[in-house]
Structure formats: C-alpha cells, structure tokens
Structure 1
Amino acid sequence: MNGSTQRLVELNHVIEEGMVTYKGVPGPVICDFLAREASLGLYEGDTTFQIGRIDMVANTGTYLDTPFHRWADGADLCGVGLEQVTNLPGLVVRHEGPAIGPEAFAGLDVKGKAVLVHTGWDRHWRSETYLAGHPFLTAEGATFLRDSGVALVGIDSHNIDDTAGKARPVHSILLRAGIPIVEHLTGLDALPDEGFVFNAPPPRVKGMGTFPVRAHAVIPG
C-alpha cells in the first residue's frame, strides 16, 4: 500500500438478467454453464465451482462505441488502443435540456480529455421514460468537440444522438475521427467538474464495434 487516498467512482450500470438497455434489443440471459451442484465430484473432496454463461447483445448496459460500430473500415475493439480509453483526464459538462450544442462546451479546454456530459437522465434507468425524449448532442456540438481535439465523449442518457429520427450524425462525426463514445453512463453527479481520470477499457474482441465497459473515475486524494 502506498498510502494513497484516491477515490474510485463507478460510472456504469450493473448488467442484470433480462434488463432492457435499448428498445427492441433483447436483454441479457445470465445462467450457469456448469452449476456448483453439477461440479461436485469433479475435484477432490467437497470442492465445487461455478462457470457462468451470458448471452448478450453488445449494446448492453454502459458500453463503448468504437469506430467500427459505425464505419466498416474503422478500428474495432482490438484496434482501439488502451491509451484511448484509459487514464484520460476527465471533464464533466453539466447540461439541462434536450439538445446539447457547441455552446455547452464554449470556453472549455477539451483537448485530449474525456468529456462526460452530465444530464441526469440516468435517474430514469430501466423505465419507459429512459427510452425516449432523452438529452443528446447536436451535430454542431459533436463537430465542435472533434475540432477541439477531444479524446473521448460520454453521456449519461439513452443515446448520444437524437433517436427521434433516423440520422445519427454524432456517431458519424466522432467515430469517423476515431473518437470513442461511451453511452449510458451513470453517477456523474458524484464527480467534480475536473481533476479526475476516466477509464473505460473494453475486452479485445475481434470484429466487434461495441461492448459493455466498467467505466469508472479515479479522483486523487
């Protein structure tokens, strides 16, 4: 132990059996591949163990979007480097209202940072309210962040884009520029506006563009 008083803050939703993250996308099925009772006798004495199984769509819970999610020639979960999703200086931008444009980021130094948009929409998690009418970035807001050198963008609502129509300009703009997106964050109210480190590394799965992450912040003591 080094005596550090740093604080770790969970920024992710717990993944549970049957939960709905996105309307029309099935929730995860969590079960035993090998139950403890079935394992009895495979090892000496009364030793037992469990091997779990989860059948899950990649867009479940709090997840990372990589460029491959939107662009066939973009980096997938294997292609996004750890330096793009770990130990990023964090910045929380707090915003009320549906459409979040460039004015929300005016005067802020976002270069090289993980910009996390705190809307408070996570209070509706796992309710019908969460699934529609949520806060989102505008195309102009995404363009501003891209042109200002942002490293990663996250939001605590249902989607970083407006889902009322079929266009997804924010995904297109950010992911084309190689900027990862984290959606369905939670707990941003527990963070300071700045002075913390953000982490959201996914497993390295070849040929996939999204996956749940245990997004969290490290706040120095």
Structure 2
Amino acid sequence: MTRMIELSHRITEGMVTYPGVPGPRLGVHLSREASREVYEPGTEFHIGSIELVANTGTYLDTPYHRYPDGPDLSGVPLEKIADLPGLVVRAEGLRSAGLGLLKDLDVRGRAVLIHTGWDRHFGTEAYLRDHPYLEPEAARWLAEQGAALVGIDSLNIDDTPPRGPRPAHTVLLGAGIPIVEHMTGLAALPDAGFRFHAVPPMVVGMGTFPVRAYAIADG
C-alpha cells in the first residue's frame, strides 16, 4: 500500500514567504452570484484570480532563475521534476548542511531533500533569519555526483546575508539541477524509497513558480 505525503505550504492571502517580497492577493473574476446571470437557473461557477510574485510559498527554481540562457519553466523536462527517486538528508538542528552529511550517499539521478525542521517557523519572524542552508562545498559535490534535484525546508538553500553571494544557486542551477525551497513535511518521509514530484506550470520566460510538491512512499 502506498501513501501520499504533502510537502508544500498553503498559499494564503498576504502570506510572507521571503523578506521584501509582497504577499499574494486573491480576488474574484466571476462570482457565483454574477455567474447566475450567465448560465441557466441552477448553474453557477466561481472563477478566481490571483496576483503573486513567482517566489511564493513552496516553489521551484529553474536554471533561468539564475542564468538568462538556462531552461525556464517551459524548458525543464518532466524527468527533472517528476517521479524522481528521492532521499532525505537529515540536518535538523544544524545551522548548515555540509559535505559530511552527503558523501556516503548515492545521489545520482535522485531528488535530494534536506530536512532541517525549519518549516516549523514558517509564517513567523523566526523563519526569516538565521535559517539553515546548504554549504557551497556540499552543493558542488551534489552537482558533481549528478543529483537530479535538490530541495530544502528553509528560507533559502543559500545563506542570505544582504547582497551576499548565492553559491548553491549558482552551482546547482548552473549544472541544470532544479531547486525547491520552502518545503515542509520532510519529517514524514522515509530516508529513501519514495518518489518525488514538484511540477510547475509551463510559463514561458519565467524561472520560478509555486509547486504542489509531494512524495509517494510505501507503507
């Protein structure tokens, strides 16, 4: 028997995902009441609208996010973001995830998800500072070893000093490896033996977008 495990945060009106990034605005294009004037009696519909920055909630970064000539949301193939064999790197309680946590793992062709437990702070001020991240040396090793995708349940896969470098983004996206940030629920995953999915819409000319990330595991 298999089970599905939710790995995404809900998107809500005005939510804060990242400092300085405006929250989403939810609206209504066609209300149920107004639709009654369009359809026959007893038939009604709701058509909503949303305005959001692409880096909202749990989202996927494609190479185009960092590199102008990299694949965008419409250019990343499904085999890079769907039905991937997954494994979890346990880094809860650590300020950073380093090479020591990774070097004994077989990551080739896998979605490598870094479990820090920081998602427990999501929606609070604590989430926005001193967050866990992936060390540059570890990012380079993941790229060299051929990881398919890397995710983290934290504010950013890089440390985020003002105007600081973003080595994990630079290395991973430069190697064509998508990144999923602001994940949640990684504690519920087994260390390995699950399939991972994080698929955004195919929007031309955009490098980042929210996803419904989830895993399918046995038992």
Compute the TM-score of the two structures, normalised by the length of structure 1: 0.97
**Structure 1 residue aligned with 2:180, among 159, 179, 182?**
182
Q: Deviations over 1:49-108 (max 9, x none)?
A: 110000000000000000000000100001100000011000000013112211110211
Alignment of 1:4-153 (within 5 A): 5-95=1-91, 96-153=93-150
CA distance in 1, matches of 2:140, 2:129: 24
Two-structure CA RMSD over aligned residues (Å): 0.8
Secondary structure, aligned partner of 1:54:
strand
Q: Deviations over 1:6-36 (max 9, x none)?
A: 1001100000000000010000001111111
Q: Deviations over 1:122-150 (max 9, x none)?
A: 00000000001000011101001111111
CA distance in 2, matches of 1:147, 1:43: 58
Secondary structure, aligned partner of 1:53:
strand
* Count of residue pairs brought into register by the alignment: 217
CA distance in 2, matches of 1:111, 1:102: 15
Secondary structure, aligned partner of 1:196:
strand
**Structure 1 residue aligned with 2:216, among 203, 213, 218?**
218
CA shift, 1:220, in A, is 2.6
CA distance in 1, matches of 2:147, 2:99: 13
Report what 2:157 is aligned to: 160
CA shift, 1:47, in A, is 1.3
CA distance in 1, matches of 2:104, 2:94: 20
Could you tell me which runs of 5 or more consecutive residues in structure 2 were left unpaired when the two chains were aligned: none
Compute the TM-score of the two structures, normalised by the length of structure 2: 0.97
For 1:138, the aligned partner's letter is E
CA distance in 1, matches of 2:42, 2:159: 55
CA distance in 2, matches of 1:73, 1:106: 31
Could you tell me which runs of 5 or more consecutive residues in structure 1 were left unpaired when the two chains were aligned: none
CA distance in 1, matches of 2:156, 2:57: 12
For 2:31, the aligned partner's letter is A
Identity %: 60
**Structure 1 residue aligned with 2:168, among 167, 170, 173?**
170
Q: Deviations over 1:177-221 (max 9, x none)?
A: 000000000000000000000000110000000000000000134
CA distance in 2, matches of 1:145, 1:25: 29
CA distance in 2, matches of 1:138, 1:107: 16
CA distance in 2, matches of 1:128, 1:164: 16
CA distance in 2, matches of 1:101, 1:147: 15
Secondary structure, aligned partner of 1:20:
coil
Report what 1:195 is aligned to: 193
Deviant stretches of 4+, over 4 Å: none
With 31-40 and 126-135 compared, the bigger mean Cα shift is at 31-40
CA distance in 2, matches of 1:169, 1:107: 22
